């Protein structure tokens, strides 16, 4: 897309400028586009996960385990921190993933009262396939930008997001 191309956000901003010239609607230039892109990303994510019989929450838990490296296991507490859900929610999710054969619980050898949640071979294969599919779809979403523009955009978005991650 060229710099001269207009999108729906340009039309939205022009309409608001005409209707409310007293307001600075400039944030819409960025944040409405981020919001619209997030909707496209959400659709792409859901499609990638569905293709591999996973719900978004299942993908989140499985990828947290996958990112941990071999032997692909974490404590339920570490999974809580990685996925930002309550302990009751995490217990339910682990139960459901275990019933599906994607994870197993095993005693923590370093804490007699603790357990570790480990990816099964099936879980590992499923999350790896879903992740590869997701990345293909995300590359497609970014195909209108070259590598340098993608790095620039990533840096600008990082600047905006960093205060929220603190």
What ranges do the domains of the chain cover?
1-50, 51-165
Per-residue confidence (pLDDT) for residue 3, from 0 to 100 = 61
Q: Tell me the backbone φ, ψ of residue 105, rounded to 5 degrees.
A: -100, 145
25-57 confidence digits (pLDDT tens): 999 999 999 999 999 999 999 999 999 999 999
- For the chain, the straight-line distance linking the first and the last C-alpha, in angstroms and rounded, comes to 35
Share of the chain above pLDDT 70, in %: 98
Q: Of how many residues is the chain composed?
A: 166
116-160 confidence digits (pLDDT tens): 999 999 999 999 999 999 999 999 999 999 999 999 999 999 999
Res. 2: pLDDT tops 70: no
Does the CA dihedral 130-136-139-144 come out positive or negative?
A: negative
Top CATH class of 51-165 equals: mainly alpha
């Amino acid at each position: 897309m060229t710099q001269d191309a207009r999108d729906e956000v340009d039309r939205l901003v022009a309409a608001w400028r005409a209707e409310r010239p007293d307001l600075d609607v400039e944030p819409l230039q960025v944040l409405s586009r981020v919001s619209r892109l997030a909707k496209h990303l959400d659709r792409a994510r859901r499609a990638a996960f569905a293709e591999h019989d996973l719900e978004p929450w299942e993908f989140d838990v499985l990828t947290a385990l996958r990112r941990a490296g071999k032997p692909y296991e974490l404590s339920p507490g570490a999974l809580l921190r990685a996925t930002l859900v309550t302990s009751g929610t995490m217990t339910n999710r682990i139960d459901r993933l275990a019933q599906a054969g994607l994870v197993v619980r095993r005693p923590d050898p370093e804490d007699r009262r603790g357990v570790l949640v480990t990816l099964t071979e099936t879980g590992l294969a499923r999350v790896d396939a879903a992740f590869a599919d997701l990345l293909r779809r995300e590359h497609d979403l970014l195909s209108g930008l070259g590598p340098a523009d993608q790095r620039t955009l990533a840096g600008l978005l990082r600047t905006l997001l960093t205060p929220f991650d603190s």
